[in-house]
Structure 1
C-alpha cells in the first residue's frame, strides 16, 4: 500500500458475538412461543455484511500492493473453501436429521415436499423455493415445513458468493487501474470506490424492496435482491466508520437504546408484512448503532462490555447451529404432539434441547471440520499437513452430501411412482365416488383412489396446461375444453375454487355440445373488492387488476354463461356467505346481459377445534373417512346464501352441490371409494369427475341448452 497510514485489521469484537447471542435468542423465542418475526434475522444479515464486506475491502487494499499478483487477487478458492468449511458441516448434518425426522414423524404425503426442500436448502435456493410457492413466514404449526427457516441461510449464501465474486473482479479492476493511475493504489481511494459501489447497490436494493412490498410482499420477503441492502448497510459501516468523539456514558445510552429497539421491534412491527421494506431500518439501524458505539481504540462503553460477557459470547458462538436446529425440532415436536402451539414448558424444553444439540454440533462437527487452533479436536482428529487435512474435510463433505442427495433422489423416485397412478379411467363400479350417493350405487370394499400420496397431484387439466395465471401475472390465459368446435360457450372465471370444477365441465361439454373456456388466477376469485387479500390475509392488488381485465374481456366476447363461485367461508365464524365484491361482479355481468352460473363453494374441512384438515395427510397418518371429515353445520349455512339475490336477478343461476359432498350432517373425507379433497380445501379432480352427472342435471335445470344429463357410469 502506498498510503502513509497502513490499513490495520480491526480488533476482534466480542461484543458483536454477544449481539449475535441476543439475536438468536429473539429468533428462537419468538418462533417457539409468539409466532412472530423478531427482527433477529435482520441483525444477523447486518452483522454478516459488516464482517464480510470488511474482509473483502482488506483483500482489495492488499491486492493493490505490487507484490500481489492478479492470480492472487482473482482466485476465489481460498475464501470459498473457508466459507464452505464454515457453513456446510452443520447445514448438511441438520438436513440429514430432517430427512430422518420426516420419515419417522411426518405423514408420507409430506415426504415429497420435504425432499424438494432438502435439495433446495442444500443448494442454497430455499428462499426462492418458498417465494415461488408463496409459503409465508408465519407462526409455527405442525403443518409448517421443518426447513422453512433456511430461507435466510440461502439468502446469505447467495449474498456471500455473489459479493465475493463481484468484489474480486472489482479488486482486479482497481489493481489494473493502479498500474495506469497510481492514485488507485491508495487505500483511501480504494475504500472510496468500494463505498460508492456499496451505496449504489444498497440504494437500488432498498428501492426494489420498497416497491415490491406493495406489489408482491410474500415474494418480496424472501427475495435476495430485496434483502441485499441489509447486509450492504453493515458492509458500508465496514468501509466507512464515522469517527465522532462521544463520552462513554452517551455511547452506553446509544447501545442500550439500540438494544431496546432490537428486543422490542418484534412486538410492534409486523415483520412478515413490513420487512425488508423501510421498517427493517429499525433492527438494521439499531445494529449499525451498536457496531459504531463499540468501535475505536477507546475503552468500550459499559453496555458493549456487557454484550461481551462470557455467557453472551458463548451463545453467540452457538448462534449458527442453534438457528439451524431449533425450528425443525419445534416442527417435529408439534407434529408428534398433534398440536399447533407449544406451551411455556414445552417451549422451554425445546429450547433447552436445541441448545444442547447446537453445542454438540459445534463441538464435534463444526469445529473439527473447520480446523484451526480454536478447536482442541482439530489437531486430534485432523492431523497431518494442511493438504491432507483438506482432503479429509472434502471427503467428509462428499459423504454427507451424497447422503442428502440420495435421500432427495429416493423421495423423488417415490413421488414419481405415486404420480404415475392415474385415476381418469378407474372402474366406476368399484370407485363410484359421488355417484354412490347420487344414484345409490353399492360401494365395494376397496382402498380409496387416488392414494393419499397421489391425491396432492389429482389436478384439473388447466394446471398441466399452464393456463392459470400465477400470483404475480396480471394477464389472463384462455384454456379451451369441452367441445372446442361448439357454438355455445361457458366461461369458467375466478380462482382455484372455480378451476376445480373444470374436470366435470370438460366431460359435460364434450357430451352435450358446448365449449368451456377458462379465465383463472391463483387465489383470485371473481370479485370487485377494493382491497382483496390472499387466503393468508396479505394484500393482493394483482387480483384487482386481473379481475378488471377479465370482466372487460368477458363483456367483449360475451360467452353464453359465466361459471364462477358465489360463496366463501366466513372469516370470523362458522358457515358461508356471499362477499359483497362477488355481488358487484354479478351485477355487472348480468347488467351486460351475460348469465352467471353461481356455484356455491364446497366446505373447507376443519376439525372440532376449528383447525383446517389436510385430507390426504390425515388419511396417510392413519385417519379414516370420518376422523378426517368435518361437520356440515360448521362449514355451510342451512340455505345457500345466494338464494335471496338469485330471486331478484333472473340471469343469476345458483348451483349448490353440497348434498353431493356432504350428507345431512357430515362431510366425510372419502365417498364411494374416492378421496374427496386433494388438500385443505380443494376437491380432487377424480371426485369432481364423479360429480359430472349431478352437475349436468343441475346445469340443465338452470340452462336447458347445456343438454340432457347422462347416466351414472358415463
Structure 2
C-alpha cells in the first residue's frame, strides 16, 4: 500500500453536506414531526469530522516535521473554543433571564460539563432519554455531540503518534498501520454500539465508545480515498446514492428507531459516499455544491451552537412552536449564528500570536472562566433559602410552592438535540 493521502483543500461538496446535516438537525428540533429522523445530521457531522481531522493529521505525519500536538491543538482551540464559550456564557445568562429558577442549578452544572467537554457522559449518567417524553431538555444538552468530537480530537493525535512509532519500529507502512488501528476502532465501537443500543439505548446514544466508529469511518475514508479512482459516472451515482441514503434516514427514522446501532450505518455510509464521490456535475445538477448549502455549511458550527438555546428560551416564554414560530426561530438562528461566525469564529480563527502556546493558555483560561461563573451560580442557588411560608395555600398547594413561576418544558414542545 502506498503511503499517499488525498490532498487537503476546500471541498465545496463537504460544505454543502455540512449545511444539509445542520438543516436536518434544526428542522428536527423545531418541527420533529416534519423530519422525524433529522437527528442523523449529528452522525453525518461525525463522519465529516473524522475525515477532515484524520486527513489533516495523516498529512502532518507524512511530512518532514511530523505531527505537532501543540500546532494541532492550537488550531482546534482557535477554531472551536471561542464560539463555544461565548455561547455557553450567553446561554447561562439567558437561563437566568428567561427560565424559572428551578432550572438554574441543573443548567449551570450542564454548562460546566459542556465547557469541559464531558456533557455526553453527564447525560448518559443521568440516563436522559434523548428522544423520549419523560426528560425535559436543557438549553445546553446539544453539547453532547461536541463533547464526543473534542474527546476524539484530544485522543486521536496521540494514538496516531503511538501507532506511527510502532510502525517505524516494526518496519510497517505508516498508512497501513493507521488503517489497521482505525479499522479495529471502528469494528469494536460498532459492535459495542449494536449491543448497547439493544440493552441500554439511553446510555448507548450518548457515550463516546458507541459513537467513535462514525468518526473512524470518516478517518478510514481519508486514508483510503487516494487509492480509489472511480469514473465520473460512478462518482455521480455514488453522490446521488449517498444523498438519498441521508435523506431516507432523516425521513424514515423516528423517535422509536433503535439508534445508533446498525441503523446508524445508513446515514453515515451515505455521508461517506458523498465525500468519496467528490464534486459532481450532471447537467446543471451539482449535488450538494449549492450556494445556499455552502453558506449554511460555513456557519454550521455557530448554527448548531445557537439554535437549541434559542428554541428552549422561546418555548419557555411562548409554549408550543408552530409554523410561524418555527420560521421566526430559523431567522433568529441564522442572524445570531452569522454574528457569531463573523465576529467570534473568524476573528479568533485568524488571530496570530508570537507565542505558540498562547491560544492553549487563553483557551484554558476561557474554560476556567466559564466553569467559575457556572460554579458560582450553583453555589449561589445551593445557599438560597427556600420560602416555605406559602406551602399549603390555595395558590401554591404542596410541593408546587417550591416551584413558583416554573415553566415546565415537555418533549411535545420541542424535540431534544
In structure 1, how many angstroms separate the alpha carbons of the residues matched to 2:96 and 2:245?
41
The alignment partner of 1:308 has SS state of: coil
Q: 1:8 deviation in Å? A: 5.9
Relative distance call for 1:615 and 1:271 in structure 2 (3 A) is same
Contact 1:142 1:334 in 2 (8 A): no
Contact 1:142 1:335 in 2 (8 A): no
**Deviation by residue 1:418-474 (Cα, 9 ceiling, x = unmatched):** 58x7x9xxxxxxx9xxxxxxxxxxxxxx3339xxxxxxxxxxxxxxxxxxxxxxxxx
Unaligned runs of 5+ in 2: 411-417
Other-structure match for 2:14: 16
Other-structure match for 2:296: 315
Contact 1:234 1:288 in 2 (8 A): yes
Aligned 1:516-555 pairs, distance under 5 A: none
Larger Rg: 1
Asked if residue 448 in structure 1 is aligned to residue 391 in structure 2, the reply is yes
Asked if residue 262 in structure 1 is aligned to residue 228 in structure 2, the reply is no
Other-structure match for 2:405: 621
Structure number having the greater strand percentage: 1
Q: 1:217 deviation in Å? A: 0.5
In structure 1, how many angstroms separate the alpha carbons of the residues matched to 2:361 and 2:62?
34
The alignment partner of 2:78 has SS state of: helix
Relative distance call for 1:254 and 1:6 in structure 2 (3 A) is closer
Q: 1:290 deviation in Å? A: 0.7
- Aligned mate of 1:417, from 383, 389, 393: 383
Contact 2:221 2:272 in 1 (8 A): yes
The alignment partner of 2:31 has SS state of: helix
Q: TM-score, normalised by structure 1?
A: 0.52
The alignment partner of 2:142 has SS state of: helix
Relative distance call for 1:173 and 1:312 in structure 2 (3 A) is same
Asked if residue 102 in structure 1 is aligned to residue 99 in structure 2, the reply is no
**Deviation by residue 1:140-160 (Cα, 9 ceiling, x = unmatched):** 999421111111000111111
The alignment partner of 1:245 has SS state of: coil
Relative distance call for 1:316 and 1:58 in structure 2 (3 A) is same
In structure 1, how many angstroms separate the alpha carbons of the residues matched to 2:339 and 2:80?
16
Other-structure match for 1:324: 305
Q: TM-score, normalised by structure 2?
A: 0.87
In structure 1, how many angstroms separate the alpha carbons of the residues matched to 2:332 and 2:193?
36
The alignment partner of 1:9 has SS state of: coil
- Aligned mate of 2:31, from 33, 39, 42: 33
In structure 2, how many angstroms separate the alpha carbons of the residues matched to 1:90 and 1:140?
30
In structure 1, how many angstroms separate the alpha carbons of the residues matched to 2:293 and 2:19?
6
In structure 2, how many angstroms separate the alpha carbons of the residues matched to 1:141 and 1:308?
40
| Structure with more contact order per residue of length (Cα contacts < 8 Å, sep ≥ 6) | 2
Unaligned runs of 5+ in 1: 372-377, 424-430, 432-445, 450-604, 606-613, 629-678, 681-714
Structure number having the greater helix percentage: 2
Contact 1:31 1:37 in 2 (8 A): no
Aligned 1:113-152 pairs, distance under 5 A: 113-138=106-131, 143-152=136-145
Relative distance call for 1:301 and 1:172 in structure 2 (3 A) is farther
In structure 2, how many angstroms separate the alpha carbons of the residues matched to 1:263 and 1:289?
13
RMSD: 3.2
The alignment partner of 2:250 has SS state of: helix
Relative distance call for 1:345 and 1:402 in structure 2 (3 A) is same
Asked if residue 163 in structure 1 is aligned to residue 156 in structure 2, the reply is yes
In structure 1, how many angstroms separate the alpha carbons of the residues matched to 2:404 and 2:284?
53
In structure 2, how many angstroms separate the alpha carbons of the residues matched to 1:202 and 1:141?
32
Relative distance call for 1:308 and 1:267 in structure 2 (3 A) is closer
Aligned 1:526-605 pairs, distance under 5 A: none
Relative distance call for 1:302 and 1:191 in structure 2 (3 A) is farther
Relative distance call for 1:141 and 1:20 in structure 2 (3 A) is farther
The alignment partner of 2:260 has SS state of: coil
Other-structure match for 1:235: 219
Other-structure match for 1:275: 259
Contact 2:15 2:298 in 1 (8 A): yes
The alignment partner of 1:148 has SS state of: coil
